[in-house]
Amino acid sequence: MTEAGNTFKDVVCTFCGCLCDDIIIETEGEKITKNTNGCAISKERFVGHMENRCLQPTVKGSAVTLEKAIERAVEIIASSKRFLIYGLSSTENDAQREAYRLAELAGGVVDNTTSVCHGPTILGAQESGETTASLAETRHRADIVIYWGANPAAAHPRHIPHYIRQPGEYIKDPKKDRQIWLIDVRETTTARMVDRFIKINPATDLEVIETLRALIRGTKLDVVEVGGISIKDLEQIATTMKTAKYGVLFFGLGLTQSFGRHRNIDAAIRLIQDLNAYTKWGLMPMRGHYNVSGANKTSTWVTGYPYAIDFARGYPRFSPGEYTAVDMLARGEPDVLLNIAADPVAHFPRAAVAYLAKIPVINIDPKFNMTSQLAEVNIPAAIAGIECDGAATRMDGLPLYLKKVIEPPEGVIPDRDILRMIIKSLEKVMK
């Protein structure tokens, strides 16, 4: 593992779905001293990996051994009727696989953070399929790139500089040969990085997309403006999209979380499908957590479904809105929550958090997070991609190997090993 001079090259950054794999990490003893090439967030992630760390397992706030913590976790799970596992987006593929095993064993529900980020993207794809691309293809071929409801400047800082504003095989000059557009309801920092910013009215994404689809078909419509854009401008946008050589549409939570949710994505997918009748287009969700894409992939390999899976009947069942974490919590359904590699207390609506506070919570995370404050059992974990190896999936579906660059703190083990310990002792209890 160790490379000469404690310098690690081509390290994959485990912050966002970009999984930039050109990071150079330098370590000295037990400290990471330098992150070269990484974005500001990446630097914080690597260099600050020991900040705010949870180093000791606790049960009801008291420090215990790892074995004791596991024992208590197993007790809680074994006595539950409706067990919910949530999280999994900030960990590696093997840990995810163990989580599905645990859910199956305990007859529980397993949901990942997809349900509050790109869940609607998957619902859209389930209705209409996917016309996708890879980031490399985009870089080498795309003469137009559109971001819709995405703010990479804040959430994926190197997306534009590392993948898009780069010369490629057929795009010699990324400034001249490639157009970058942004469509959003807010003039974000990203708006200043692109060639054209198109502002649309909030909650009109679906109308704008459907209008573009109709215009691309060559249909004349009755309306004079949609979402604050004149039909003339929309016609021009449609024409540009139709006449592009190779286009890629990246979309973010501005599309998945706004009015319409999965319907917006379904429409966007069909827009891209329509465009493929004339030229080549692909689309890609701007996945947030570095391995949320992987959570969907591993879940689908193992269970057939990407998230919101119930094993209560022994076989997997899929029902977003019913087995998704926010809905289950808000409806007061689960009697135990195992949270791993996510922070529902920080990211869930109040009612869900209020219910979560009433049930036993087992929290597995490398750092103190908001959920730790409410958890009965806290188990620290090693940070994948820094303190242990693994695999993760980039936003375009490409799996990448995560390197271990430093030893985890004393007694702290990877997520997958914690889950295996739980499974092992639960197997004994359940039999």
Half-sphere exposure for 260 (CA within 13 Å, toward CB): 21
**Concatenated DSSP letters for 22-41?**
-EEEEEETTEEEEEES--HH
Furthest-apart CA atoms within the chain: distance in Å: 70
Both tokens of 352, joined, read: 């869900």
Query: Would you say 119 or 247 has its CB closer to other proteins?
Result: 119
**Token pair 């397992």 in the structure block, residue:** 57
Query: Of these, 27, 35, 89, 115, which contacts other proteins (CB under 8 A)?
Result: 115
User: Minimum CB separation from other proteins for residue 141, in Å?
Assistant: 27
Q: Is 7 exposed, middle or buried (0-12, 13-18, 19+ CB in 10 A)?
A: middle
Q: Of 142 and 292, which CB lies nearer to other proteins in the complex structure? A: 292
| Nearer to other proteins (CB atom), residue 176 or residue 350 | 350
Q: Which is nearer to other proteins, 176 or 219 (CB)?
A: 219
The correct pick among 36, 52, 243, 276 for binding other proteins (CB under 8 A) is 52
Instruction: Give 103 or 244: the residue with its C-beta nearer to other proteins.
Output: 103
- Is residue 307 a contact residue for other proteins (CB under 8 A)? yes
Among positions 359-418, residues that touch other proteins (CB under 8 A) are 367-370, 372-374
Residue 322 interacts with other proteins (CB under 8 A)? yes
Asked whether the beta carbons of 5 and 17 are under 8 A apart, the reply is: no
Identify whether the C-beta of residue 371 lies closer than 8 Å to the C-beta of residue 357: no
Total residues in contact with other proteins, by rule CB under 8 A: 104
Binding letters toward other proteins, positions 256-285, x by CB under 8 A: xxxxxxxx--xx--x---------------
Cβ-Cβ contacts under 8 Å for 210 (sequence gap 6 or more): 267
Nearer to other proteins, 178 or 378 (CB): 378
Nearest to 321 by CA among 329, 353, 313: 329
> CB of residue 327 vs other proteins: minimum separation in angstroms?
5
Q: Using CA atoms, how far apart are residues 428 and 9, in angstroms rounded to an integer?
A: 43
240 to 259, contacts with other proteins by CB under 8 A? 253-254, 256-259
Spatial distance between the Cα atoms of 329 and 337, rounded to a whole number of angstroms: 9
Should residue 219 be labelled a site residue for other proteins when binding is judged by CB under 8 A? yes
| Cβ contact 85:109 at 8 Å | yes
Segment near other proteins (CB under 8 A); pick from 134-142, 204-212, 386-394, 404-412: 204-212
Nearer to other proteins, 106 or 135 (CB): 106
The nearest distance, CB 100 to other proteins, in angstroms, is: 15
Q: How far is CA 44 from the centre of its chain?
A: 19
Residue ranges in 53-112 that form contacts with other proteins under rule CB under 8 A: 53, 80-83, 106-108, 111
- Minimum distance of other proteins from residue 287's CB (angstroms): 12
Among 18, 21, 45, 147, binds other proteins (CB under 8 A): 45
User: Smaller CB distance to other proteins: residue 127 or 407?
Assistant: 127
Please report, as residue ranges, which positions from 137 to 156 form the binding site for other proteins (by CB under 8 A): 151, 153-155
Are 89 and 286 in contact by the 8 Å Cβ rule? The answer is no
> Of 125, 170, 179, which Cα lies nearest the Cα of 147?
179
Q: Which stretch binds other proteins (CB under 8 A): 55-63, 68-76, 328-336, 409-417?
A: 328-336
Given a contact cutoff of 8 angstroms between Cβ atoms, the answer to whether 90 and 293 are in contact is: no
CB of 392 to other proteins, least distance (A): 16
For the chain, the C-alpha Rg in angstroms (whole number) is 23
Q: Which of 175, 186, 232, 424 binds other proteins (CB under 8 A)?
A: 186
Work out which of 25, 238, 329, 386 binds other proteins, going by CB under 8 A.
329
| C-alpha to C-alpha distance for 365 and 95, rounded to whole angstroms | 12
- At 133 the three-state DSSP class reads coil
